[in-house]
Amino acid sequence: MKNIAVLVSGGGTNLQALIDAQGRREIVNGKISIVISSAPGVHALERAQNAGILSCVLDRKNYPSSRAMTVALVEKLKEQSIDVVVMAGFMTIVTKELFEVYNNAVINIHPALIPSFCGKGAYGLHVHEQALAYGVKVSGATVHFVNEECDGGPIILQKAVDVLPDDTPEVLQRRIMEQCEWKLLPQAVSLFCQDRLRVEGRTVRILP
Ligand code: GAR
């Protein structure tokens, strides 16, 4: 059984999707062992508490640098014997110290079809504002491994939805969450926990 850490920063709807999938036994061979928030008082922490999952806060403000925060994070992950780290709306920069220990074992969900609308400044609602401003007809979500390149790690799963003529960023965000993110993230985590993801260069092969 693999121990999963979920990193959050806000509402935690993706965390909830993971908790619900775990309740339905859809995270095969995995268990959410800890939820780590980059900020105190966020709704995601309440979701963890309601599900009886251990949680803690690692506030970037309490550390002199991103590196120092990352070192503290890695210490926490090791302490809990974590096998896989899931970034579910985690909005804080982490440094290479995390990937040195968790190589191809950090998973992120991004609310667009990478390599579109990603990288610096592309997070949360901004991503959907950028997609609408560009006039794309489809958008979606991407689950990928995290490496040092921002939103640049090997892609695990992607799913697209139509962009509709009257979409606002909020409406598009909700459609992508419901139809893509909340499905893809638990699926990808379950595949990882079953050792069914093999990284070959930039390509992730999904084993039967
Ligand atoms: C989600 O849409 C997630 O894909 C996005 O932030 C939102 C968090 O919502 N992540 C990023 O933009 C990362 N670049 P949640 O807290 O309700 O899961």
Question: Separation of 11 CA from ligand 1 center, angstroms?
Answer: 9
- For the full predicted model, state whether its pTM sits above 0.85: yes
Nearest to 34 by CA among 72, 90, 70, 80: 80
Going residue by residue through the chain, which has 208 residues, state the pLDDT in tens, using 9 for 90 and above: 999 999 999 999 999 999 999 999 999 999 999 999 999 999 999 999 999 999 999 999 999 999 999 999 999 999 999 999 999 999 999 999 999 999 999 999 999 999 999 999 999 999 999 999 999 999 999 999 999 999 999 999 999 999 999 999 999 999 999 999 999 999 999 999 999 999 999 999 999 9
Parallel/antiparallel/unpaired status of strands 106-110 and 138-145: antiparallel
Query: For ligand 1, atom 3, which residue shows the shortest CA distance?
Result: 89
Task: Encode pLDDT of 19-46 as tens digits.
Answer: 999 999 999 999 999 999 999 999 999 9
Cα 172 from Cα 77, distance rounded (Å): 34
Question: Which domains occur in the chain, in start order?
Answer: 1-102 (3.40.50.170), 108-208 (3.40.50.170)
Q: What is the pLDDT of residues 101-128, one digit of tens each?
A: 999 999 999 999 999 999 999 999 999 9
111 CA: nearest ligand 1 atom: 4
Active site residues: 110
